[in-house]
Amino acid sequence: MTIARVRTESILLALVVFEVAVFGVFARNFLTVRNAFEVARLGVELGLLAVAMTPIVVTGGIDLSVGAVLGLSAVVLGAAFRDWHLPIAAAIALALCVGSACGALNAVLIAHWRIPPLIVTLGSLSLFRGIAEGMTHAAENYSGFPAGFLALGQGYAWGVVPWQVPILVAACAAYIVLLHRSIVGRALYAIGFVGAGARYAGIRVERRIGLVYFLSGVMASVAAIVYVAHLGRRGRMRGAGTSSMRSPQSCSAAPRCSVDVGRSGARSSACSRSRCSRTACIWPRCRPSSWAC
């Protein structure tokens, strides 16, 4: 188990090093500090979703609805600020509430009612994205956010570090503690190993499983806030394009690793890294919005 884990992660690390080396040699201006931070900026939203997906995959579940939660939270944030004339702080709080509510819905259906996560999140994916579509008629764009808010996604701390990168780092740190340094984390591994056994061992399986789906919803709305600040305007299309299949897929293909997978897995090698090294293409744009599901 430990051996397999180390191996998967070292292979991924080797791939990243190889990738960086190849592009460092062949692409001009790739191997610079500035570009490294730009690439990091582009990975934050995906990273947040993938980090939150990790404990879910550890328990043997999946959350297909994260992209839809991100889209819905982003739309609510935009609508709250522009159409309902709320101050930006209240709009952010509302977006977080939406994410929490979405996560709670998944959590209740999966943990309490014991419905398979695949089908629950498939249904809630349609529901959340459908609500976003219904609210915006798939055509609305929101803009005119205050500069202070946009700095979160477009500005730099100390002149070099994009503001959202510390958010991802903090989220990673929190999830590392949760998964590897806490009783809850050990319980999650036990549940993923044998759910019934964990129950007999006195673990509150329902609560633990509910928690990870709830947190996934919360993190998706955090990602939505970063996302809105990053693009500086946002309509339904962008959120819808953040294909939910991507992060679960990268995680489930190599469940051993969280952040590395989200950023160095299939998507970024195919998409962000290669393209972003040359153009200003950001990852949601690499796929047409209606693409994956």
Binding residues vs other proteins (CB under 8 A): 62, 109, 113-116, 118-120, 122-131, 133-134, 136-138, 245, 249, 252-253, 266, 290-293
Minimum distance between the CB of residue 147 and other proteins, rounded to whole angstroms? Answer: 32
182: CB partners within 8 A, 6+ apart: none
Separation of alpha carbons 91 and 78, rounded Å? 8
Separation of alpha carbons 172 and 81, rounded Å? 29
Minimum distance between the CB of residue 102 and other proteins, rounded to whole angstroms? Answer: 11
Separation of alpha carbons 148 and 102, rounded Å? 28
Separation of alpha carbons 274 and 17, rounded Å? 14
**104 in helix, strand or coil?**
helix
Minimum distance between the CB of residue 165 and other proteins, rounded to whole angstroms? Answer: 28
Minimum distance between the CB of residue 46 and other proteins, rounded to whole angstroms? Answer: 15
110-137 b/e with 16+ CB inside 10 Å = b?
A: bbeeeeebeebbbbbbeebbebbbebbe
Write out 23-82 in H/E/C secondary structure. Answer: HHHHCCCCCCHHHHHHHHHHHHHHHHHHHHHHHHHHCCCCCCCHHHHHHHHHHHHHHHHH
Minimum distance between the CB of residue 206 and other proteins, rounded to whole angstroms? Answer: 13
Minimum distance between the CB of residue 172 and other proteins, rounded to whole angstroms? Answer: 24
Minimum distance between the CB of residue 64 and other proteins, rounded to whole angstroms? Answer: 9
* Residue 94 CB-half CA count within 13 A: 17
Q: Which is nearer to other proteins, 133 or 260 (CB)?
A: 133
159-180 b/e with 16+ CB inside 10 Å = b?
A: eeebbbbebbeebbeebbebbe
Q: Which is nearer to other proteins, 141 or 154 (CB)?
A: 141
